[in-house]
């Protein structure tokens, strides 16, 4: 059973988290190369949990016209903007949204990108079920959606792999400021019948972030069949 070190970074600037995430990712790849002939090599998998101050990120396959507000106006509103190397289109992160960055050597689990994305979706679906919320996948759309109508997206997923080591992850809307999504075409989905939602909106109450993190971690361990070790 793979061991995964869990780190809770709290509320952290996106750029700072990105630099830390990429450093860990690079170290995993470097160690993998260094020990490629070592049958006893054990990767140091990480799982980072955090929230970000308000920020918009554009994936490498995204369209810049999906940013509906000028960058100068975003700056005035206190919202940062970055172009990054994950898959997917434009996404919002902000306080009240749980961001999960798995940094895993998938060769220690399985070599299947689609299975990896489905597994991320599955752990979110299971976690939402703990709150009595029915969620599902939608064919042709990455992420997690509420199971009833209208179609409402509650979790965005975007990943990047290098030598089977994962980068980026998922963003689950717990108690975010949903009005901030109006600055973008969320995930590039312009269908007027599809919306963004949150656990708070669906339940009519806020959910404690520590409680949500605990549920996510429990289901991560189940879905990935991993042992989680918490960093002191």
Residues labelled catalytic: 187
Beta bridge mates, 8: 49
For the chain, how far is it from start to end, CA to CA, in angstroms?
Answer: 21
Q: How many helices (H) and strands (E) does the chain have?
A: 5, 12
The C-alpha atoms of residue 125 and residue 133 are separated, in whole angstroms, by 8
| 72 alpha-carbon distance from chain centroid | 27
Tokens read off for 199: 């656990």
Q: SS3 for 188?
A: helix
Degrees to nearest 5, angle at CA 79 with 73 and 84 = 110
The owner of tokens 């998998």 is 45
Note whether 55 and 86 are within 8 A (CB). Answer: no
The C-alpha atoms of residue 207 and residue 127 are separated, in whole angstroms, by 12
Alpha-carbon distances of 201 from 33, 40, 52, 141, 221, rounded to whole Å: 46, 48, 20, 21, 27
């Amino acid at each position: 059973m793979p061991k995964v070190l869990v780190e809770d970074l709290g509320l952290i600037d996106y750029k700072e988290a990105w630099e830390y995430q990429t450093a860990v990712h690079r170290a995993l790849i470097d160690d993998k190369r260094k020990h490629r002939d070592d049958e006893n090599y054990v990767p140091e998998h990480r799982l980072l949990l955090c929230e970000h101050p308000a920020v918009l990120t554009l994936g490498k396959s995204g369209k810049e016209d999906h940013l509906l507000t000028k960058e100068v106006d975003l700056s005035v509103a206190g919202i940062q903007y970055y172009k990054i190397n994950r898959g997917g289109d434009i996404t919002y992160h902000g306080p009240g949204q749980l961001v999960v960055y798995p940094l895993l050597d998938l060769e220690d689990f399985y070599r299947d990108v689609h299975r990896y994305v489905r597994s991320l979706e599955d752990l979110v679906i299971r976690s939402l079920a703990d709150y009595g919320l029915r969620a599902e996948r939608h064919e042709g759309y990455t992420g997690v959606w509420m199971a009833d109508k209208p179609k409402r997206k509650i979790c965005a997923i975007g990943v990047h792999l290098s030598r089977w080591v994962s980068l980026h992850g998922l963003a689950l809307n717990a108690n975010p400021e949903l009005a901030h999504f109006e600055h973008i075409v969320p995930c590039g989905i312009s269908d007027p019948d599809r919306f963004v939602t949150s656990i708070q909106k669906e339940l009519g109450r806020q959910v404690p972030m520590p409680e949500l993190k605990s549920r996510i971690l429990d289901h991560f361990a189940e879905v990935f069949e991993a042992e989680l070790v918490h960093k002191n």
